[in-house]
A and B are shown apart, each in its own frame.
Chain A
Amino acid sequence: MNTHATSYPPIRLPALPSLPRWPLFLAVRSIPEPLLADAAARIMNRLLGERSADLAPLEGRRLSIEGTDVGKRLHFLVAGGKLRRGSTAMTDLRIRGTLADLLRLGLRLEDPDTLFFSRRLSLEGDTVTGLSVKNLLDGLDLDWAEACQRLFGPLAGPAVAQGLHRTGVAALLRDRLERILGRS
């Protein structure tokens, strides 16, 4: 028999009703597009951290992301190795989907190809840019171990990370997020 460690131990979550989505929608709807774009760019640059070199292939590219159900279209530009708010002029790549699906994509809760094949996501424009964006997201190593190292130092960090891993906190968080977004 083949045994292996799995990162999703069978913790049964208490059955919760799907959380109402509208506060998120209201918030996104009420914030002006430039502010949203600024915030999104800042988060992305922070996440990229020392991997900002991965943005190099996108240098000079203009992207737009459109939440079809919230009526928002955000414009971005990659310049000087950073993601920045862009102008509303031309774009190289246009990504469109519902807010929930865009968040699933950004938070890596859902496979982008699956969203694309099932027509929930549309990508138009330069395919090289599209693939680079997708692979950039897929390559982001949102690492518990590294985050813990930063928070708890090199000695305690790895132990804390191991512990978190075992308790399935990542799975729990993921589950909560999926509840908020509503299961696909």
Chain B
Amino acid sequence: MTRIPELVCPAGALPALKAAVDNGADAVYIGFRDDTNARNFPGLNFGPDDARKGVEYAHRAGKKVLLAVNTYPQPHNWPIWTAAVDRAAALGLDAVIMADPGLLRYAASRHPDLRLHLSVQASATNHRALEFYHQRFGIRRAVLPRVLSLQQLWHTIAHSPVEIEVFGYGSLCVMVEGRCALSSYITGRSPNGSGVCSPAEAVRWEETPQGRQSRLNGVLIDRYGPGEAAGYPTLCKGRYHTEGRPYYAIEEPTSLNVLDILPELVQHGVAAIKVEGRQRSPAYVASVTRALRTALDTCAADPRRYQVREEWAAALDRLSEGQCHTLGAYHRPWQ
């Protein structure tokens, strides 16, 4: 019998973690309240007390909690990152999601029983890279960047020594995650270094007579006319004057959604499906988790008769950036 992928859902705080567990997540991933993870936003994430409560809540329901320690430490702040790993081991977290090889080595040697997952921030896109991380640090699972086509994904899974987790729903990041330097260009900060690609202090929203405008460090990213759906103020989703007209030259504000290809993901042995959005609310986590849980269970019951139900798609689209969805790189026949 084919194995049903684990549903891995995001939580930026305790209520979202509970929403994920209550609505059918198999695992919830969280981050500590500092720059050791790629969603370092003001007021978001787990302090020590909340982390303990969260682990208790999930474990009581038989679910897992994974911790993202997936940014890259610098020499001067190295102890903050190793402390996060030590705390993860002490709290009994089910796995730590990491990217930095130095930190992976630290975890593997200091906490041999701690399960390690390779973060999407490590940007490993082929099975040889995964082999390396597996041999050196004993990683058990890798999260692949949202840049592979389905053919590339099947090939990687077939040759991978470790479980493969893919993104199933959420805002898109178009670059090979972990290698994006676009934001450093405007703000001097990047996801890998600071855990954030559009830091809040650089973002400015303005309501003007022409519509809502978003600026990143003073640079106009987009202007939305009345009634037009807005998106996150990231450089990659801005509208720029190219060939004389404003246009989404890099990427449109839209969300990835794999409902359409769920049976194929199951059939090819994807071990886990990840939902993006630790920065989103408990309401988002609850709806997305519920929709994907039902879809996965339906698919498990009879993959051949699986069909996307309108209510799942509608629930997911409503919460999407740009309020529409795409298969992203999964569907790029030319790749």
Give me the interface of A with B, judged by CB distance under 8 Å: 1-2, 4-8, 54, 57, 108-114, 116-119, 122-124, 127-128, 130-142
A118 adjacent to B323 (CB under 8 Å) = yes
Please name 11 pairs of A and B residues whose Cβ atoms are closer than 8 Å in the assembled complex, sorted by A. Answer: A5-B22, A5-B61, A112-B281, A127-B201, A127-B205, A132-B43, A136-B43, A137-B281, A141-B13, A141-B14, A142-B15
Residues of B within 8 A of A110 (CB): 283
Expressed in whole angstroms, the Cα–Cα distance for A109 and B279 within the complex equals: 16
Expressed in whole angstroms, the Cα–Cα distance for A116 and B318 within the complex equals: 12
Contact A139 B61, CB 8 Å, known A117-B231, A117-B322: no
B200 at the interface (CB under 8 A from A): yes
Q: Residue A119 contacts which of B13, B18, B203, B230 (CB distance < 8 angstroms)? A: B230
Expressed in whole angstroms, the Cα–Cα distance for A153 and B171 within the complex equals: 43
Residues of A within 8 A of B4 (CB): 1-2
Contact A138 B321, CB 8 Å, known A6-B22, A54-B43: no
Expressed in whole angstroms, the Cα–Cα distance for A21 and B279 within the complex equals: 32
Expressed in whole angstroms, the Cα–Cα distance for A132 and B12 within the complex equals: 12
Expressed in whole angstroms, the Cα–Cα distance for A134 and B200 within the complex equals: 12
Contact with A along B175-203 (1 / 0, CB 8 A): 00000000000000000000000001101
Q: Residue A138 contacts which of B15, B61, B207, B226 (CB distance < 8 angstroms)? A: B15
The B283-331 residues at the A interface (CB cut-off 8 A) are 283-284, 287, 290, 293, 296-297, 300-301, 318-319, 321-323
Residues of B within 8 A of A116 (CB): 230
Expressed in whole angstroms, the Cα–Cα distance for A116 and B26 within the complex equals: 29
Residues of B within 8 A of A57 (CB): 42-43
Chain B: CB-nearest residue to A96: B207
Expressed in whole angstroms, the Cα–Cα distance for A28 and B227 within the complex equals: 27
Contact A140 B15, CB 8 Å, known A6-B22, A117-B229, A119-B228: yes
**Which 5 residue pairs of A and B lie closest in terms of their CB atoms, listed nearest first?**
A135-B43, A7-B22, A139-B13, A111-B284, A127-B203
Compute the total of residue contacts between A and B using a CB distance below 8 Å: 120
Supplied contacts A114-B319, A139-B15, 9 more A-B pairs, CB within 8 Å:
A4-B26, A108-B15, A108-B283, A111-B281, A113-B284, A122-B212, A127-B203, A138-B281, A141-B18
Residues of B within 8 A of A136 (CB): 43
Expressed in whole angstroms, the Cα–Cα distance for A113 and B319 within the complex equals: 8
Residues of A within 8 A of B207 (CB): 122, 124
The number of chain B residues touching the other chain, given as a range, is 35 or more
In whole Å, how far is A85's beta carbon from the nearest beta carbon of chain B? 22
Expressed in whole angstroms, the Cα–Cα distance for A6 and B294 within the complex equals: 11
Expressed in whole angstroms, the Cα–Cα distance for A114 and B230 within the complex equals: 9
B270 at the interface (CB under 8 A from A): no
Chain A: CB-nearest residue to B41: A131
Residues of B within 8 A of A118 (CB): 229, 323
Contact A132 B42, CB 8 Å, known A1-B301, A7-B23, A117-B321: yes
B24 at the interface (CB under 8 A from A): yes
Residues of A within 8 A of B43 (CB): 54, 57, 131-136, 139
Chain B: CB-nearest residue to A184: B318
B67 at the interface (CB under 8 A from A): no
A6 adjacent to B23 (CB under 8 Å) = yes
Expressed in whole angstroms, the Cα–Cα distance for A145 and B15 within the complex equals: 12
Expressed in whole angstroms, the Cα–Cα distance for A114 and B322 within the complex equals: 9
In whole Å, how far is B24's beta carbon from the nearest beta carbon of chain A? 5
Expressed in whole angstroms, the Cα–Cα distance for A76 and B29 within the complex equals: 34
Chain A: CB-nearest residue to B43: A135
B206 at the interface (CB under 8 A from A): yes
Residues of B within 8 A of A141 (CB): 13-15, 18
Expressed in whole angstroms, the Cα–Cα distance for A5 and B89 within the complex equals: 27
Residues of A within 8 A of B297 (CB): 1-2
A119 adjacent to B23 (CB under 8 Å) = no
A119 adjacent to B12 (CB under 8 Å) = no
Q: Residue A4 contacts which of B14, B280, B293, B301 (CB distance < 8 angstroms)? A: B293
B280 adjacent to A113 (CB under 8 Å) = yes
Expressed in whole angstroms, the Cα–Cα distance for A136 and B43 within the complex equals: 6
